[in-house]
Structure 1
Amino acid sequence: MPKKLLALGALCLSLSACSTLQSPFSGSAAPSAQSVAPYREQIELAGRLNVVYQKNDKPESATVNFTWQQSPARIDVGLFSPVGSTLATIAVTPQQAVLEQSGKAPRSAPDVDSLSAQMLGWALPVSGLRDWLQGYATGEDGKRFVASPQHDSVTTKDGWRLRYVSWQDGAADAVPQPRRIDAERNTSAQADAVSLRIVLDPITPASAP
């Protein structure tokens, strides 16, 4: 009997050791350790955007729904009121950006961020969003930032502070996808201070890679 008990004890210790040596990325721990999905040049997204900005030295805010269609050569952004009416559309190509609003002549410019500030009253950082919406950015050190649930904030090269607040629901072993992104830019000019809260809808199969 003692020999059998000794053998059983050795077996338990062996199983315990195997369990201890298991990869920390296995099972439910995987999502918190993984970075976001590989970057996609072509993607369709939609969501809601809340912006707080300065107008005539007073804080203003707006909430809009948006659509985002991206390909290697073009970005199309639609901004809509909460009841569904179109507020503006923005088309961006390597040559120019064109912003259209109902009842106004289209405006174009090489710099889409400045154009949106002039037309909307607040800056929509389209050039940055191309990366941010997928969990990527260029940090202030010039290095590529890749978000994960454990590495969720960065200050960008152009002065935006990003935080990936939450992530899309999914299977335990799914690659993380951004759900809510907070972005804030403070500058020496108070009129240029803008903060954004972006909430993305779940990515549909059609927009998956």
Structure 2
Amino acid sequence: MLRLRRLALLCATAPLWLAGCASVVPSRSFDAGETARAELYSGRFAANYVRYGRNEGVQGSFRWEEQGRNVRLDLVSPLGQTLAVVTSTPSGATLDLPNEPPRNAPEVDSLMEQALGFSLPVAGMRDWLHGRPASGAPSKSTRDANGRLDTLMQSGWTVRYVDWQESPEGAAPATARPRRVDMARDGADSPLSVRLVIDPETKQ
């Protein structure tokens, strides 16, 4: 059974297991030298995919922190236990799982797929969560009547901006923040869809 689902089920159905569902401490730190302001996103996620010929699904909450090219993504069970931590920096990427050694690679997408059965496009999400195409890769897009992204196709993914948070009156479309984003990986060999519902922005 999928590791995330097994851990979430144990935590939900047997309170005595809660002590064993410990938080995950990331083993990789952000690279120094980034001067950009740290930005935080949080919300809920749901992923549906095919593994070993079977339809699978997992859901929970997420916390996304970025500072320049540094990114940390926490995936959390419905009961609040950290199930996985992804850290991606210019020097490499690490996936930390409960009670397992850290897994390292130049990029994190393949690590997630091997360990969890699905991956989130971490590199693209740095820009997609801001409602813009990622730089350095070809893309096709459509925009709504307010000039915000409606559909984006890039790097083998189709990203649909289903809903947007309210922007201050007079604010430019580029400053708008998505509320719900649906992502689907193109190709029939390994179909994957991910829904993100993002919490309202909080001022820091």
Fold similarity call, TM over 0.5? yes
Runs of 5+ consecutive residues of structure 1 not aligned to the other structure: 1-39
Aligned to 1:113: 109
Aligned residues with identical type, % of pairs: 35
Matched, 1:50 2:46: yes
Number of the residue aligned with 1:169: 166
The superposition leaves residues 43-63 of structure 1 with CA deviations (integer Å, 9 ceiling, x where unpaired) of 111011110011111111111
Aligned-residue offset at 1:144: 8.3
1:201 positional shift = 0.4
Greater helix content:
1
Q: Which runs of 5+ in 2 are unaligned?
A: 1-35
Structure 2 partner of 1:183: 183
- Deviation per residue, 1:31-81 (Å, 9 max, x gap): xxxxxxxxx873111011110011111111111211011011411111100
Which among 191, 201, 204 is matched to residue 202 of structure 2? Answer: 204
Matched residue, 1:96: 92
* Structure of higher RCO (CA pairs closer than 8 Å, 6+ residues apart): 1
Q: Is the 8 A contact 1:98 1:109 kept in 2?
A: yes
Alignment of 1:131-170 (within 5 A): 131-138=127-134, 142=138, 149=146, 151-156=149-154, 158-170=155-167
Mapped partners of 2:111, 2:191: distance in 1: 16
With structure 1 as the length reference, what TM-score do the two structures score? 0.71
1:154–1:162 Cα contact (<8 Å) kept: yes
Which of 119, 132, 140 aligns to 1:123? It is 119
User: Partner letter of residue 158 of structure 2?
Assistant: R
Using the size of structure 2 for normalisation, the TM-score is: 0.72
Aligned pair count?
Answer: 164
Please identify runs of 4+ aligned residues in structure 1 that moved more than 2 A. Answer: 138-141, 143-151, 169-176
Equivalent in the alignment of 2:59: 63
Q: Is the 8 A contact 2:48 2:57 kept in 1?
A: yes
**Cα offset for 1:119?**
1.4
Structure 2: how far apart are the matches of 1:144 and 1:44?
27
CA RMSD between the two structures: 2.5
